[in-house]
Amino acid sequence: MEEKKNNDFENEPLIIKFKIAGKALRMCLYSNSMRIGMVDSYRPFLFSLANKEGLTQTELVNLSRLSKPTVSLTLQQMEKEELISFKSDEIDHRKTLVYLTDKGRNLHKEMRSFFDSLNQDLVNLYSPRELKELNDYLDRMIQYLVKGDDFHD
């Protein structure tokens, strides 16, 4: 497939532009995951656990929006690679909590560094006024799409 130039997207519908932008972002993140030697499917768990350690598998299912079997398998793989560890909850011994290991935290730091750098590169594409407008537009769009009941046939 021939690569499109920037102005080739000018007449594309908005939904197609978001699809293209989303795919380009996923490819950027995937490429970085491969560069640092990380399985790309680990990314949401590294970010979630770096944000709040000691999450249950159910909480990770809800945060990642992935199926329970997918989360379970991914966590097993991450444990084998010594990126996470499982510990019983000290208060409720029926719960098993997931924690990042030092190796997992280091991998998250590498991923986070790339993420922050890419975010800054994207921010630098806009003036402060344009960035505020873009954020306002995206917030409005997200609110509309998340509601779901506002869709028209």
Query: What is the Cα Rg of the chain in Å?
Result: 19
Return the pLDDT at 47.
94
pLDDT of 3 > 90? The answer is no
* pLDDT per residue as tens digits for the range 48-102: 999 998 999 999 999 999 999 999 999 999 999 999 999 998 999 889 999 999 9
* pLDDT per residue as tens digits for the range 89-118: 899 988 999 999 999 999 999 999 999 999
The length of the chain is 153
CATH no. for 41-112: 1.10.10.10
pLDDT of 5 > 60? The answer is no
Grade residue 1 by pLDDT with cuts at 50, 70 and 90. very low
Delimit the domains of the chain by residue range.
41-112
Instruction: Identify the three-state secondary structure at position 45.
Output: helix
3-state helix, strand, coil in the chain (%, to 5): 65, 10, 25
